[in-house]
Amino acid sequence: MRFLLLLFCFSLICFHKSYAIDSIRPNQALLDNTETLVSTRQDTFELGFFSPRNSKNRYVGIWYKNVQDFTVVWVANRENPLTDSSGVLTMTPTGNVVLQSNQSGVTIWSSNSSAKNPSLELLDSGNLVVKDGGSGSYAWQSFDHPCDTQIAGMKLGWDFVTGQHWYLTSWNSLQDPSIGNYSYKVDPRLPQVVQRRGKEIVYRSGPWDGVRFGGDPPFYDNPAFRPFYIFNQTHLYYIFENIDNSSVTRFWVHPSGSLQQLKLNRGTGDWVPIVFSLQKDECDTFGRCGPNGICDNNRNPVCDCPTGFVPKVPRDWASLDSSGGCILRTKLNCSAEEGFKRFTHTKLPYSPDYLVNRSVVIKQHCELICRRNCSCVAYSVSRLTGCAIWFRELVDVRLYDVGGQDLYIRMAASEFGKKACANVSIYIIVTKTWHFRDSFSKT
């Protein structure tokens, strides 16, 4: 069997050492002997076999071709390395890209794609594609399978039609490209980005409002890159473009979890951080003030209980430990009169249990839906994201100086005074006359 595999490999049209090619077809192979596949026109990117620093394992990856600091942006077999230089990358006649060991014959990785008259090409964008020779479409592309790096033209988010999910996962270490501890994903319900360490959330941007995420600056062009956020019925994703051909930037999830937007300094060949961290202050620490607590970076200390709430463990709050959060001063009773306190410029809460109905965009309608459910503790509504209602505890709420959205928290009518009681009575009567679709999306 080994003899036959070796005979097959030598029968392919192989390339001379150090020779770069621009495509691989079914009668061709890429061997682990410094052969590479280069991007078609500008020679910006290169694909081949490599070993991370201080590692003997071999991987197939894509890196910047003319950058002094060897920078890998995508790895095919990140979970299954070769332990020697026996690797061979081939394209089958049916359009499947296969990485095998020519020693054992074991398949290390494959694209699981199919195409007619296929070719494997590395585009100038850094996207590795299986091109269907009949239709000209891409049967498979590396941009659909990101690793730890987002480059210009690569999407992070969702295709609601196909179910495709684009997200980043860190390397395990600088020497090991296998999936590490950190992930960076777009939440498809309220459009926001969430970073996790394992299953634990460590950072959350706050929802997109059509201009900005939470209290971040609006999305504008800058001297390095041009950001876009697409949100419609079929797609939800973030993408950026380099401002011009002289600018090269990338977004990277470091193995330590730090999030960095980097720009290449062509003079020194170094990557220079232009966005050091998305966590700007103490209130960007996820859940900083505990359940139902609210964080305000203009206060000292930053944590407080919102109106109508008191510290759950006052003794801990007195010693500046707010991790226990807050509880309602007056417990909710669905049979009693209740109202909703409005909080402006907030980072909307996160909760394992919340529902979103994009078809409901009127405040009164959203409030009535929340009132009809005794477990609903808060709601928010906008024409972009629709009606969102939360259950149980509200986590990771903060106040912004600019931006943010209105949050309405449910509490006993006694927290509002007599005027609020009158308003509550009106809402209870109206509740009996309205009927709404409960077509909510859930966690």
Residue holding tokens 């003030």?
289
Instruction: Please tell me whether the peptide bond between 301 and the residue prior to it is cis, using omega within 30 degrees of 0.
Output: yes
152 falls in which pLDDT band (50, 70, 90)? very high
Are the C-beta atoms of 136 and 119 separated by less than 8 Å? no
Q: How many other CB atoms sit within 10 Å of the CB of residue 311?
A: 21
The region of weakest confidence among 84-88, 119-123, 221-225 is 221-225
pLDDT tens, residue by residue, 162-198: 999 999 999 999 999 999 999 999 998 888 999 999 9
pLDDT of residue 276: 59
Q: How far is CA 236 from the centre of its chain?
A: 11
Q: How far apart are CA 272 and CA 70, in angstroms?
A: 14
pLDDT level of residue 392 (50, 70, 90 thresholds): confident
Would you list the domain boundaries of the chain? 16-140, 146-280, 287-415
Does the pLDDT at position 102 exceed 70? Answer: yes
Percent of the chain with pLDDT strictly greater than 70: 89
Report the share of the chain in percent with pLDDT over 90. 66
The answer on pLDDT for 16 being more than 70 is no
Residue 433 has a pLDDT of: 31
Quick one: pLDDT band at residue 376, thresholds 50, 70, 90? very high
Distance between CA atoms of residues 29 and 9, nearest Å: 8
Compute, in degrees rounded to 10, the torsion defined by CA atoms 115, 121, 123, 127.
Answer: 60
Q: What is the mean pLDDT of the chain?
A: 87
- Quote the CA–CA distance of 339 and 421 in Å, as a whole number: 8
Q: What is residue 208's predicted lDDT score, i.e. its pLDDT?
A: 87
**Distance from C-alpha of 75 to C-alpha of 50, rounded to nearest angstrom:** 10
CB 284 within 8 A of CB 278: yes
Phi-psi region of 287 (alpha: psi -120 to 50; beta: other; left: phi over 0): left
Joined tokens for residue 1: 């069997």
pLDDT value for 425: 34
Give the Cα separation of 32 and 29 in Å (integer): 10
Specify the long-range contacts of residues 227-232, CB closer than 8 Å, at least 24 apart. Answer: 229/191, 230/157, 231/191, 231/384
Work out the pLDDT band at 335, boundaries 50, 70, 90. Answer: confident
Q: What is the pLDDT of residue 417?
A: 66
Q: What pLDDT is attached to residue 17?
A: 41
* Dihedral of the alpha carbons of 420, 422, 426, 427, in degrees to the nearest 10: 20
Q: Domain 16-140 falls in which CATH fold?
A: Agglutinin, subunit A (2.90.10)
* CATH topology match: 16-140 vs 146-280: yes
Q: Which CATH architecture has domain 146-280?
A: Orthogonal Prism (2.90)
Q: Token pair 């966005």 is at which residue?
A: 275
pLDDT at 22: 80
Query: Is the model more confident about 412 or about 216?
Result: 412
In this predicted structure, the answer to whether residue 234 has a pLDDT above a threshold of 70 is yes
Mean pLDDT of 141-145: 98
Integer Cα distance of 420 and 417 in angstroms:
6
pLDDT of residue 209: 82
pLDDT recorded at residue 403: 87
- 413 confidence band (pLDDT: 50, 70, 90): confident
Tokens 């939470």 sit on residue:
214
Other residues' Cβ atoms within 10 Å of the Cβ of residue 387: 25
Main-chain phi, psi angles of 63, to 5 degrees: -140, 165
